[in-house]
Amino acid sequence: MAASDSAGDDSLYPIAVLIDELKNDDVQLRLNSIKKLSTIALALGVERTRSELIPFLTETIYDEDEVLLALAEQLGNFTALVGGPEHAYNLLPPLESLATVEETVVRDKAVESLRAVAQQHSPADLEEYFVPLVLRLSAGDWFTARTSTCGLFAVSLLSTCVPSVKADLRPQFRTLCQDDTPMVRRAVASKLGELAQVVELEYLKSDLIPLFINLAQDEQDSVRLLAVEACVNIATLLPQEDVEQLVMPTLRQCAGDTSWRVRYMVADKFTELQKAVGPEITRTDLVPAFQSLLKDTEAEVRAAAAYKVRDFCQNLDKPHQENVIMNNILPCVKELVSDPNQHVKSALASVIMGLSPILGRHNTIEHLLPLFLSQLKDDCPEVRLNIISNLDCVNEVIGIQQLSQSLLPAIVELAEDSKWRVRSAIIEYMPLLAGQLGQEFFDEKLNALCMTWLMDHVFAIREAATLNLRKLVDQFGAEWAENTIIPKVLAMSRDQNYLYRMTCLFCINVLAEACGSDITTRLLLPTVLSMANDKVANVRFNVAKTLQKLLLN
């Protein structure tokens, strides 16, 4: 039907225009047309949307992936436009077609919309329309349909209480778990945990757990690693004695899997597994498994496990917590501090400070501080940053005095390093460090260091130190700047080295923005004017630029 054919009938115009636009060669025009579907549906009314628009859309599932993705998204929000929940089943045919296309993102969006629409079905409509759709997809000739249906079983079983319907769905799910195509088995494994949460406990133990065990032993590691996530959901649902008997053998197997990707997934989900299996199984089984993961031959696995060190230790049961950490976890942590892979060291540095509140003052001073010092001197900047950014955890446990005696010398040593890039890295961390340690401590121990950087022989350091001043003023306020920083900066305007006089001007530029007009007028502007007759042309040129900037401020 062309637009010209409907010119005499206004009621047909939206459909006619839509047909013309969807037949256009311009993908963007077709995409824009799909995005206007809700407007077109409103113009048509619910009856014509059901009888004309939805059938038309069902017949035109042959477009570009971008257009189909937009269509799948639109249809998920179309229930009200077809007349409400009692007519929601009308949306199933186009979404079923979209759930079978080759492009993964389109199928995923179609499944997401199908799930949303299914939740608005009445139990009767669900049994009459939605369950047959699930069964058709699960028996599809192409793996795309069977992959999509995996995401629909849980919502089907959750929404129905009819035994006969459940009896129809469950064998199909079992068949999909044994599908010849790895992509289907991956999809099943990814939804196994979700399904476990909506079935009866007896069915979980009699049917789902054997399927879970088989998937965890699949020849494809991409299937086995997805079974690890299902392990968390299943263990959460089972009584403690059943966890040991039904889940732990598979979990032990996954933790020692020949594929590093499976072991990585175990490490990544470790604290969730810890909460799911409970404290007793954690002590007997997960502690040795965690030690093994922290010593894994693959850096990616060690890094994933290192990220979990603090949370794992925090979740240990209190009566055994300190003993397990000191005897089982800390020896592994000490090895990771000098790991050859920087990602592993960085992962550990981001969480290791969190052990201090758990282990207390004595253990922190005796066992953890040497590790912090070692990491603070690490060649990798990210490791040093992660240590400095978490100093407040240690400060709360051992106090600022002990912290300054132990860690501050290492920070000062890095700040005076012969390599300018190391000095530059410490300057970047200084505002963060100032916030951690507080104004009083900063003024006493680190203020002089910040001023020294302004007179460094490397321009990049002087520039970084200038920007650092701005951040410190933002941290401590204009009054602090007036009393502490500004007098020292202004004194540089009289230095014999013209480079330091230039640095003075650069500092004034950034301080003026941070300190406001009063301090600028009283203190900064007179100094700039006094430098207008400097004997070095470059200084005079920068005076002019500074004056211009001050006027704009």
CA separation, residue 242 to residues 236, 247, 249, 315, 359 (Å): 11, 7, 11, 22, 33
Q: Does residue 82 contact residue 50 with C-beta atoms inside 8 Å? A: yes
Nearest to 380 by CA among 431, 319, 337: 337
Tell me how far apart the alpha carbons of residues 403 and 409 are, in angstroms, rounded to a whole number.
10
Q: How many C-beta atoms lie closer than 10 Å to residue 167's C-beta?
A: 9
Q: Does residue 224 contact residue 217 with C-beta atoms inside 8 Å? A: yes
N residues, the chain: 553
Residue showing tokens 């599908």:
179
Specify the CATH number of the domain 1-120: 1.25.10.10
Q: Does residue 1 contact residue 16 with C-beta atoms inside 8 Å? A: yes
Tell me how far apart the alpha carbons of residues 219 and 229 are, in angstroms, rounded to a whole number.
17
CA separation, residue 501 to residues 206, 248, 332, 505, 527 (Å): 81, 70, 52, 7, 11
| Amino acid identity at 112 | E
Tell me how far apart the alpha carbons of residues 62 and 98 are, in angstroms, rounded to a whole number.
9
Q: At what angle do helices 420-437 and 391-406 cross, to 10 degrees?
A: 110
Q: Could you tell me the mean pLDDT of each successive run of 10 residues in the chain, 553 residues long?
A: 40 60 67 79 84 81 77 86 86 88 89 88 82 87 88 73 72 86 90 85 86 90 90 88 89 92 94 91 93 95 96 93 94 94 93 91 89 85 80 77 73 78 79 80 83 88 90 90 90 90 91 86 89 90 88 71
- Rg over CA atoms, the chain: 33
Look at phi and psi of residue 516 and say left if phi exceeds 0, alpha if psi is from -120 to 50, else beta: left
Q: Does residue 96 contact residue 75 with C-beta atoms inside 8 Å? A: no
| Domain spanning 280-406: CATH 1.25.10.10 | yes
Sign of the dihedral defined by the CA atoms of residues 540, 544, 546, 550, in that order = positive
3-state secondary structure at position 354: helix
pTM equals: 0.73
Q: Does residue 380 contact residue 388 with C-beta atoms inside 8 Å? A: no
| Residues carrying CATH 1.25.10.10, the chain | 1-120, 137-144+153-277, 280-406
CA separation, residue 479 to residues 60, 430, 511 (Å): 69, 20, 12
pLDDT at residue 12, as a whole number: 52
Q: Which residues of 306-320 are buried (b: 16+ CB within 10 A; e: fewer)?
A: bbbbbebbeebeeee
Residue showing tokens 């007793």:
280
pLDDT at residue 44, as a whole number: 81
Tell me how far apart the alpha carbons of residues 27 and 10 are, in angstroms, rounded to a whole number.
26
| Amino acid identity at 316 | L
CA separation, residue 375 to residues 339, 382, 410 (Å): 11, 10, 10
3-state secondary structure 186-249: HHHHHHHHHHHCCCCHHHHHHHHHHHHHHHHCCCCHHHHHHHHHHHHHHHHHCCHHHHHHHHHH
Tokens of 356: 């201090």
Tell me how far apart the alpha carbons of residues 469 and 477 are, in angstroms, rounded to a whole number.
11
3-state secondary structure at position 457: coil
Q: Right CATH number for 137-144+153-277 from 3.20.20.60, 1.25.10.10, 3.40.50.620, 1.10.3720.10?
A: 1.25.10.10
Find the DSSP H helices in 338-415.
Answer: 342-349, 355-363, 369-376, 381-388, 391-406, 408-415
CA separation, residue 464 to residues 424, 425, 474 (Å): 7, 9, 16
Q: Which residues of 194-203 are buried (b: 16+ CB within 10 A; e: fewer)?
A: bbbeebeeee
- For 419, which DSSP code? S
Start-to-end CA distance of the chain, whole Å, equals: 64
Tokens of 228: 């690890």
